[in-house]
Structure 1
Amino acid sequence: MKKTSDRKLLPMARRGLGSKGRKIQLITNHFKVSLAKKDGCFYHYTVAVFYKDGRPVEARGIGRRVIDKVYETYASELPGKDFAYDGEKALFTLGSLPRDKLEYMVLLDQISSNKVGRNGSPDNTDGNQSKTFKVEITYAKKIRMQEIVDALLGQESDHQEAIRVLDIILRQHAAKRGCLLVRQSFFHDKVENYRDIGGGVQGCRGFHSSFRATQGGLSLNVDMSTTLLLKPGPLLEFLRMNENVNRTNLIDWTKAKRMLKNLRIKANNMEYKITGLSDKPCKDQTFSWKRGRDANGEVKSIEITVAAYFERYKGIRLRDSANLPCINVGKPKKPCYFPIELCTLVSLQRYTKALTSSQRASLVRVSRQEPHERKASVSNSLRNCRYNDDHMLRSSGITIGSEFTKVEGRILQAPTLRVGNDKDFTPENGRWNFIDKQLYQSAVVERWAIVNFSAHYDIDILVKGLQRSAKSKGMTLGKPKVFKEDKQMSREPAVVRVEQLYATVMDQMGWHPQFLLCILPEKNSDIYGPWKRINLADDGKGEGVVTQCLVPTKLKNDQYFTNLLLKINAKLGGMNSLLATEHLCSIPMVSKVPTLILGMDVSHGSPGRSYVPSIAAVVSSRCWPQISRYRASVRAQSPKVEMITDLFKPVSDSKDDGIMRELLDDFINTSGRRPEHIVIFRDGVSESQFNQVLNVELDQIIQACKHFQETWDPKFTVIIAQKNHHTRFFQANAQKNVPPGTTIDNRVCHPKNNDFYMCAHAGMIGTTRPTHYHVLHDEIGFSADDLQELVHSLCYVFQRSTTAISEVAPVRYAHLAAAQLAQFIKFDEIPESSSSSSHGGFTSVGTPQVQELPRLHERVRNSMFFC
């Protein structure tokens, strides 16, 4: 094929529908949309909002109020012109406005502000502050509804722009009803929607609503959605909850300062945004209070503390906050202070910091809905929205049906798996176990050790259970050496503890261990990252040892020991089970032609920590014709960058030839042949990034192949695996989830492009979320059935599990590899202020240079260390 740099690739069209599998009738949360005015059009205008002095308005949230005021003030000049405004720079109308460029002046009262009074004192801020705004509205282009019609007919069309307008109308509709808008999800400030998840944070249940072009026509996708909000109320109480302390003197004010920045509060009957904390407590923090002018016109001012000011001139004697820092709502050179006890958090503020493990568990619990509950909630949300009463939608000729869309699914047969002693079996309901089964290929483990960082753990029960389970699975597991941390070391920093005990282990083992079983003191222990790094990284400190971590648990039954052994065996090069078709070399398009399977993912900093480097991971199959063995290549790259940048490095580098060179070398070494087919599964990208995957990432992979050998021209298939979507499927007359293996490629899929939904796993709790696969490119020439069966089978080769998983194993492995190597970086040492400078070896957000991750040690580089 030509290099992608010679021609721009676009997502491929569907070649046909699948036919294999038992048919099942389903319904989905898509609702039919009728278009009465297919010849209508929207007019797109750009919006610019300025203060009276000409400065552009940058504060979020003001624009929508300004545009509403324009519509209200100048209604006579805009008769019957409904506005759909995105809250920033785009405005859409039905029919054109009077002129191509319009200018308006409007006055808004009681604007939320951070403006400080003349002297920075709290009482000089006008509680009825008003501002004048200048608004410029300029014609941009016309958007035809026919674009949507053309797309539904499978014709080339820029229909996304028209659908974007319709989605903005939905946002406008929700904004008028006082909802919090989070992209296309909407949240009402109602008590019944809130669920406390701890730490001053609430899960707020709302709904998602967006238009989609599908094979069955235009549809409205409605689903339930949950976002995180701060618990409104007294600010001091929030801090105590957030830091889980019951006394004010236990608050960590360094942590509190990071938490409070940019939060909105109410004080002095006005709303402000917090900019920081004072350096001194209220009783000591002074400011210059200007008390008017004397007879000579000179400004009179006195230095007074914040506490004294409120007691003398406001009649408020501070109880809790005299000894606490003040809340600063001013600017660095013009602070404006309020005592913290007089501040309350306003409602509907999103919480964007990282969650604790208990908060994450609570969020999952409060977000979960069984299928019948979710169906009822979706119906209620659509009915309560009353979209058909919206004037702009009606004027557009759009009406929305109230019935769930009916679709036909197919339940694919679970693949047959092969285990030890050449035994085959077929999983039932997406699950199986290893009772009376042996591992397909088991590792022989004679040299291993247990490293115990936990004060209380019965090692004898653990060893006997593991050895008993290993024997029943056909695995040889010798007697381990046991190393326990000295009690005095438990007070030392995590890195010191790890290095000390690791050195003891290596000194006393007498030989290089095959693997180390590490007992952590608790879940989410700070021991985990340093322990993984010293064992796996090639940075001169460790010796390259496969390791498995566990935390103390009361549950130590046979299933527990089996699950541990599955991970250990896979990490040591064993194989727990594999596909029977893989063993028999009968996988269509894969077994007869050397085929490399890649899984690609990029993980970013958690919410509130977006300044940390992103981690790109690519896993690749090895030992063809097997497709159940993988190894990983991982790199750090600039924060928030989704496209993988190190797939190919055109300049020869003795240290790093790029990810693909590393993986291609491994495939050739373990398979004896170059891959002629390369199947790529990419996770974590949105539809707007599909072209970049084809024309940036695929191009790098092709260049890597050409650099390897100019005449080498493998065929590629590129598939996106999406979990972040809102389509759900239900059995029409049953309360349980759809069966594992359910596949849908009709009615609600793209009208032209090649995509399908698959629920490979058994949804035991909540409502099953299908994976949405988009086949962007297919030179190999898979039929719809062959490709869907390959995808389904790859959900059964995840070596650490005895269940089918919800996405193909290579993608899950890439996610795990990225997450594990992210532990190598001490992210806590990178300050949030790194947006403008370099810290700790990591460059700031937006710069191309990022400190490299340590390379994996050669002893573990080819292992499934991530399993």
Structure 2
Amino acid sequence: MAETTEDTLPPPPMLPPELKPDRFVDHLKRVPISRTGTGKTGRRVNLLTNHFRVGVTVPDAVFYQYSVAIQGGDQRVVEGKGIGRKVMDKLYQTYYSELDGKQFAYDGEKALYTVGSLPQNKLEFQVVLEEAAVKRGSPGMTGSPSETDRKRTKRSFQEKIFNVEITFAAKIPMKPIALALKGIETENTGDALRVLDIILRQQAAKRGCLLVRQSFFHDDVRNFVDVGGGVTACRGFHSSFRTTQGGLSLNMDVSSTMILTPGPVLDFLLTNQNLRDPRQIDWGRAKKMLKNLRVKTRHNNMEFKIIGISEKPCNQQYMQRASLVEKSRQKPQERIRTVTDAIKNYRYDDDAMLKACGISVEKQLTAVEGRVLNAPKLKVGNSEDCIPRNGRWNFNQKRLFSPIEIKRWAVVNFSARCDTSHLSRDLINCGRSKGIKIERPHSLIEEDPRWRRSGPVVRVEKMFELIKEKLPGPPQFLLCVLPERKNCDVYGMSNLFLGPWKKKNLSEMGIFTQCISPMKINDQYLTNVLLKINSKLGGVNSLLDVEHIPTLPLLKSSPTLILGMDVSHGSPGQSDIPSIAAVVGSRSWPLISRYRASVRTQSPKVEMIDSLYKPLLNGEDDGIIRELLLDFFESSEGRKPEQIIIFRDGVSESQFNQVLNIELDQIIKAIEHLGEGRLPKFTLVVAQKNHHTKLFQANDPNNVPPGTVVDTRVVHPRNYDFYMCAHNGAIGTSRPAHYHVLLDEIGFSADDLQNLVHSLSYVYQRSTTAISIVAPICYAHLAAAQMGQFIKFEDSSSDSSSSHGITAAGPVPVQQLPRLHENIRSSMFFC
């Protein structure tokens, strides 16, 4: 394919005459904006961060990239990082002089890098291993492979001779890193950093570590913690080079992953399902746990990858992730000691490749100045002020700002042990103290014991037969008591129960519902439940004082729509589960506490949202943005948004241009489709939680205080980003949110934008604490997760197309979500 140049690009679309030329930028040239300034407000605080300063004494060094092809003696291509690294290590030992003694960094697959060139652009070697790894593809099901399966699988590498071909591919200079530190971005900056990271990975591989992306884990019993269910938590480290305002730095952090406890497959399944008798194994659940796992057979010592078993899938898969999180937590001072010890122990300065390009790493954490922003004032019932302290507040002796009234409701009890009469009385009394007037429930509907061992769909349908029988009409609200937690796994319903129940209520019946699990019920628990109920039914728990009397800079005079965008993907290994795209939009301007969600499915594992603008054959737009724009217009007294602030979650830095050039273009098209003359101004911010920068107080063992913001030293040398820790990290070490401002047509000052972001961490209606990331993103995540239950339920309730090891040919159509009932659509049903 010919390379695209500026001369071959298609002409830009015709502009409406009312649009200014400078508002439209060719999508191939739209890039993240540069930093416009730093914040000044807030109390100054001295901090440390887990970045270690890196010195570069040979900035003009050049990496040479080579392609690597490894073949067995029968000319078959060798795949797999394990065998590749063994072959290349042996190659270096055998042909040291032929390589001119040059060290190389090998990525474990098809690329290696040297500082300076090898003697020739193409080199061929023959490598003999004393012990060649044995690898083989998997049969269609567990057990002894049939003759047909043997023919379909890859041949095992039993030979000891390998042919290696090394071919020059490209030059990667170090100079772009030096330019990046001066704020000058080039296309090669990421490539150079990637080579440095590959050097780190190779060093870890030579120590025998397990490599997982940029993290590595030692095979040391001291790093293993049993989390139950046949799963072991393994503690290791993340390391990566970063360009920052303070220069090149090495970001070092503690990392955790889960591995299956080694041992016989049958023992693992018994432990995972908490069983003693193999005859009780749930093979549907076992199939999902074993899929894509590698096993070694005892009779011939060969490796296989499991792709399926013949039993039909069951209704449930359950991972104990919470246990992993619990057992991998570290207090700030412990984490500081761990990463500083790691930097000293790994002796990166002694690495030959790093030495060759003049890399040295300091052994102390980087000092940085932060600021602690004041918490925003809240308004609760009777316009009473509520001042959060340390990121928290409560409703003790306080009423909700706008409480609802519940007249027609019922309690639906799927639990055999919960006393629902006691529950309803306590809920009514707690609601009264918060200003919510709750009438006595019309009925307490207990599940017929005959149906308790039936499937989830049957149980829900039978329960609705009772609801229709006992209630005179549709209730305003249903309180649903779920089965006991300890029995959910036996019934296979810990997640799936939400599927048919929520789907029936939200899509078919248009009834608001709140699910609870039997547990120790006290006033705080009931208060939390009431916060969710009040929000779902249209009430407001608390407002920012600046909403009550609009004073937010740049928002009070111009109608402003705030969007939160997120995409939720299926679990690893579930490549056939559609991704769920969710966007929430603010409503009732000038409020920024009320939101509506719009949710769609899209192709699995696709991160860019493809339904923001969705033209139909009849010329209509059935996309997400049109739905939210119309809702904003209807709820804001006929006002159209003149400004749109977008918070996007879940994208990496390599995808920023796609957000700017694909998703933003779709939003613009949706607005133009409505016939609007002038486009609103946009501010686009990406929020990241999946990063490894931590902040520590220099002279305090506790976590950084809520409201801590850092926008110097460890931020990007050119781009507009900042770190904010809005929440109170009571357990472990706080992880700040990393915000990247890609576009700011509205023209916020650094202080105004940071204060807006901080304030949006206090409008989360489900809790009485500041949250770690802005509420619109949390709401989008909740909406995607809740609607995704519909898909998970449908998928688990039907036979898999890949049963018996057979996969249907051709692409599988993306399963569409059922639309929400008209009674539910504009609500905060996701709270």
Aligned counterparts, 1:204-283, within 5 A: 204-253=234-283, 255-256=285-286, 259-260=289-290, 262-265=293-296, 267-268=298-299, 270-275=301-306
Match of residue 112, structure 2, among 91, 96, 101: 91
Distance in 2 between residues matched to 1:506 and 1:752, nearest whole Å: 62
Counterpart for residue 291 of structure 1: none
Alpha-carbon shift at residue 445 of structure 1 (Å):
1.0
**Conserved in 2, the CA contact under 8 Å of 1:113 and 1:273?**
no
Distance in 2 between residues matched to 1:741 and 1:527, nearest whole Å: 38
Q: Does 1:711 align with 2:677?
A: yes
Q: Does 1:153 align with 2:182?
A: yes
Alpha-carbon shift at residue 461 of structure 1 (Å):
2.0
Match of residue 710, structure 2, among 732, 738, 744: 744
**Conserved in 1, the CA contact under 8 Å of 2:27 and 2:661?**
no
Counterpart for residue 569 of structure 2: 604
The aligned amino acid for 1:491 is R
**Conserved in 1, the CA contact under 8 Å of 2:391 and 2:728?**
yes
Alpha-carbon shift at residue 229 of structure 1 (Å):
1.0
Distance in 2 between residues matched to 1:729 and 1:176, nearest whole Å: 31
Distance in 2 between residues matched to 1:475 and 1:278, nearest whole Å: 53
After superposition, the C-alpha distances for 1:588-628 in whole angstroms (9 at most, x for unaligned) are: 11121110000000111112323211111000000001000
Distance in 2 between residues matched to 1:684 and 1:63, nearest whole Å: 33
Alpha-carbon shift at residue 456 of structure 1 (Å):
1.2
Aligned counterparts, 1:408-807, within 5 A: 408-480=369-441, 481-523=443-485, 524=494, 526-537=496-507, 542-554=508-520, 556-652=521-617, 657-671=622-636, 672-807=638-773
Alpha-carbon shift at residue 587 of structure 1 (Å):
0.6
Residue 491 of structure 1 aligns to a residue whose secondary structure is: coil
Change in CA separation of 1:726 and 1:691 when aligned onto 2, cut-off 3 Å: same
Of 250-259 and 821-830, the range deviating more from structure 2: 250-259
Distance in 2 between residues matched to 1:7 and 1:118, nearest whole Å: 51
Distance in 2 between residues matched to 1:240 and 1:743, nearest whole Å: 48
Of 453-462 and 23-32, the range deviating more from structure 2: 453-462
Alpha-carbon shift at residue 119 of structure 1 (Å):
11
Counterpart for residue 318 of structure 2: 356
Counterpart for residue 108 of structure 1: 129
Counterpart for residue 332 of structure 1: none
**Conserved in 1, the CA contact under 8 Å of 2:535 and 2:828?**
yes
Match of residue 833, structure 1, among 802, 814, 820: 802
Change in CA separation of 1:265 and 1:441 when aligned onto 2, cut-off 3 Å: same
Alpha-carbon shift at residue 226 of structure 1 (Å):
0.5
Q: Does 1:388 align with 2:349?
A: yes
Counterpart for residue 177 of structure 1: 207
Alpha-carbon shift at residue 492 of structure 1 (Å):
1.6
Q: Does 1:808 align with 2:774?
A: yes
**Conserved in 2, the CA contact under 8 Å of 1:109 and 1:128?**
no
Match of residue 141, structure 1, among 148, 159, 170: 170
Match of residue 73, structure 1, among 65, 83, 94: 94
The aligned amino acid for 1:400 is V
Residue 61 of structure 1 aligns to a residue whose secondary structure is: helix
Residue 705 of structure 1 aligns to a residue whose secondary structure is: helix
Counterpart for residue 822 of structure 2: 858
How well do the aligned residues superpose, as a CA RMSD in angstroms?
2.6
**Conserved in 2, the CA contact under 8 Å of 1:483 and 1:505?**
yes
**Conserved in 2, the CA contact under 8 Å of 1:644 and 1:697?**
yes
| TM-score normalised by structure 1 residue count | 0.86
Distance in 1 between residues matched to 2:804 and 2:648, nearest whole Å: 29
**Conserved in 1, the CA contact under 8 Å of 2:621 and 2:673?**
no
Of 188-197 and 103-112, the range deviating more from structure 2: 103-112
**Conserved in 1, the CA contact under 8 Å of 2:136 and 2:155?**
no
Change in CA separation of 1:404 and 1:107 when aligned onto 2, cut-off 3 Å: same
Of 423-432 and 505-514, the range deviating more from structure 2: 505-514
The aligned amino acid for 2:407 is E
**Conserved in 1, the CA contact under 8 Å of 2:310 and 2:804?**
no
Counterpart for residue 17 of structure 2: none
Distance in 2 between residues matched to 1:836 and 1:703, nearest whole Å: 44
Of 651-660 and 690-699, the range deviating more from structure 2: 651-660
Distance in 2 between residues matched to 1:435 and 1:674, nearest whole Å: 39
Distance in 2 between residues matched to 1:651 and 1:835, nearest whole Å: 39
| TM-score normalised by structure 2 residue count | 0.90
Q: Gaps (5+ residues) in structure 2?
A: 1-21, 138-143, 486-493
The aligned amino acid for 1:220 is L
The higher radius of gyration belongs to: 1
Counterpart for residue 31 of structure 1: 52
Distance in 1 between residues matched to 2:96 and 2:779, nearest whole Å: 58
The aligned amino acid for 1:824 is F
**Conserved in 1, the CA contact under 8 Å of 2:72 and 2:157?**
no
After superposition, the C-alpha distances for 1:228-272 in whole angstroms (9 at most, x for unaligned) are: 112123443223212321123333455545544541326257342
Residue 67 of structure 2 aligns to a residue whose secondary structure is: strand
Distance in 2 between residues matched to 1:143 and 1:722, nearest whole Å: 29
Alpha-carbon shift at residue 140 of structure 1 (Å):
1.7
Residue 818 of structure 2 aligns to a residue whose secondary structure is: coil
Residue 50 of structure 1 aligns to a residue whose secondary structure is: strand
Aligned counterparts, 1:121-136, within 5 A: 129-136=158-165
Counterpart for residue 319 of structure 1: none
The aligned amino acid for 1:132 is I
Change in CA separation of 1:619 and 1:279 when aligned onto 2, cut-off 3 Å: closer
After superposition, the C-alpha distances for 1:754-791 in whole angstroms (9 at most, x for unaligned) are: 00000000001110010000001111111100000000
Moved over 6 A (4+): 116-122, 125-128, 276-280, 834-839
Question: Sequence identity of aligned pairs in percent?
Answer: 57
The aligned amino acid for 1:489 is W
Of 753-762 and 588-597, the range deviating more from structure 2: 588-597
Distance in 2 between residues matched to 1:588 and 1:279, nearest whole Å: 62
Residue 608 of structure 1 aligns to a residue whose secondary structure is: coil
Change in CA separation of 1:581 and 1:473 when aligned onto 2, cut-off 3 Å: same
Distance in 1 between residues matched to 2:648 and 2:298, nearest whole Å: 49
Residue 338 of structure 2 aligns to a residue whose secondary structure is: helix
Residue 191 of structure 2 aligns to a residue whose secondary structure is: helix
Q: Gaps (5+ residues) in structure 1?
A: 281-353
Alpha-carbon shift at residue 473 of structure 1 (Å):
1.3
Alpha-carbon shift at residue 463 of structure 1 (Å):
1.5
Change in CA separation of 1:252 and 1:503 when aligned onto 2, cut-off 3 Å: closer
Of 76-85 and 127-136, the range deviating more from structure 2: 127-136
**How many aligned residue pairs are there?**
782
Distance in 2 between residues matched to 1:499 and 1:561, nearest whole Å: 28
Distance in 1 between residues matched to 2:247 and 2:804, nearest whole Å: 45
The aligned amino acid for 2:502 is K
Higher strand share: 1
The aligned amino acid for 1:513 is P
